[in-house]
Amino acid sequence: MRPASDQSLVVVESRPFDNVGLVEINRPEVRNAINLEVREKLAAAVASFSDDAEIRSIVIAGRGANFAAGADVRAFEKLGSADVLLQRTHRYWDVIAKCPKPVIAAVEGFALGGGCELAMHADIIVAARTATFGQPEVKLGLMPGAGGTQRLLRAIGKYKTLMLVLTGDMCPA
C-alpha cells in the first residue's frame, strides 16, 4: 500500500531496495501519458538520484498496467503541435541518456510514442510479456520527435524501424 500523499503526484520517487532509485510515472488513469509536467519531474527525479552517492542504479516504470502510452494529446489541443514541440523534449530525455548511473526502463503494457522514446533513452529495457512498443503518432501525421527514429534504428535495425515508423504498427515484446 502506497502512502496517500503520493496519489496526486505525477512522478513518484522511492527507494525500494538499497542503492536503487525508483522513478514511477503516476498517471494510470491516462495510461501514464506524458505531458510537460511529467517530463520535468521525471528529469528532476533522475537528476536527483544521479547526484545521490547512495544510489547506484535507477529504474523508471509506470504505475498501473502501462509504462507510458505516449504524449498526452490534450496538450496538443491546448497548445498546438508546434508549441508542444518547442517545449524541447530533448533536454529532459538527455538527463536520462547522459546519466552516469545505469538507468533501467521496466516496461509493462504500452510503451508508445514518447513512452517508447523514453524507454529507449534508458541503458537497459526490461520488458514484461505484456509490453508493446510502437510509434503510433505517425497515424496522426506526426513524426517521432524525441529521438525515436534514431534510437529505434540502433535498437532494432533499419527494416523493423521503417515498418514501425511508416505504418504506426505496434510490436509486442
* Digit-coded pLDDT (tens) for 62-75: 999 999 998 887 76
> Across-strand partners of 24?
12, 61
Rounded Cα–Cα distance for residues 161 and 123 (Å): 19
Task: Indicate which residue of 13, 24, 108, 117 is catalytic.
Answer: 117
Task: Indicate which residue of 33, 71, 119, 146 is catalytic.
Answer: 71
Could you confirm whether 117 is annotated as catalytic?
A: yes
Task: Indicate which residue of 114, 115, 134, 148 is catalytic.
Answer: 114
pLDDT at residue 82 tops 80: no
Q: Please count the other Cβ atoms lying within 10 Å of the Cβ belonging to residue 40.
A: 15
Could you confirm whether 71 is annotated as catalytic?
A: yes
Could you confirm whether 40 is annotated as catalytic?
A: no
Predicted structure pTM score: 0.87
> Across-strand partners of 106?
126
Instruction: Report the mean per-residue pLDDT for the chain.
Output: 86
Q: Which CATH number fits domain 4-134: 3.10.270.10, 3.90.226.10, 3.40.1410.10, 3.90.1260.10?
A: 3.90.226.10
Could you confirm whether 114 is annotated as catalytic?
A: yes
